[in-house]
């Protein structure tokens, strides 16, 4: 079944640790996205990719980095986690509709990160 997966679902980690949040999709989509969402707030785009070896920063500045070596995989890395990074991180993927060129994004379940 085509889907989008994120691991881990929950992560509690100490300050200064390096972490990688995993995101994989089996839908064959070229475009992938990372969003950051604080409790009760809207989503903010922090990274996106239009395909392999393509990565761009989003609208919200983030200290995280991403890579896109394979179409299905879009991991997000924090080199040194801080309490200010505590948030929920949502991954999504999309492809353009052939009729009108717009995209529908499909979301993973999210990773809730807590940095102590």
Q: Which is nearer to other proteins, 40 or 79 (CB)?
A: 40
Closest separation in Å from C-beta 104 to other proteins: 6
- The tokens of 85 are what? 């990074």
Q: Which is nearer to other proteins, 26 or 80 (CB)?
A: 26
Alpha-helical runs (H) found in the chain: none
Q: Which is nearer to other proteins, 67 or 105 (CB)?
A: 105
Closest separation in Å from C-beta 110 to other proteins: 5
Q: Which is nearer to other proteins, 22 or 106 (CB)?
A: 106
Distance CA 16, CA 37 (A): 21
By the criterion CB under 8 A, which residues form the site for other proteins?
Answer: 6, 31, 33, 40-43, 45, 48, 50, 58, 90, 92, 94, 96-97, 99-110, 112
Closest separation in Å from C-beta 79 to other proteins: 25
> Which letter, b or e, does each residue of 23-62 get, where b requires 16 or more Cβ atoms within 10 Å of its Cβ?
bbbeeebbbbbbbbeeeeeebbbbbbbeeeeebeebeeeb
Closest separation in Å from C-beta 12 to other proteins: 14
Taking alpha carbons only, the member of 49, 20, 19 closest to residue 34 is: 49
């Amino acid at each position: 079944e085509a889907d989008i997966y994120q691991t881990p679902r929950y992560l509690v980690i100490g300050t200064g640790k390096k972490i990688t949040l995993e995101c994989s999709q089996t839908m064959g989509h070229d475009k992938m996205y990372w969003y950051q969402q604080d409790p009760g707030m809207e989503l903010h785009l922090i990274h996106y990719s239009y395909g392999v070896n393509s990565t761009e920063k989003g609208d919200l500045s983030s200290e995280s980095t991403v890579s896109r070596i394979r179409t299905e995989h879009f991991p997000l890395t924090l080199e040194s986690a801080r309490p200010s990074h505590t948030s929920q991180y949502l991954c999504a993927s999309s492809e353009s509709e052939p009729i009108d060129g717009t995209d529908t994004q499909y979301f993973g379940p999210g990773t809730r990160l807590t940095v102590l």
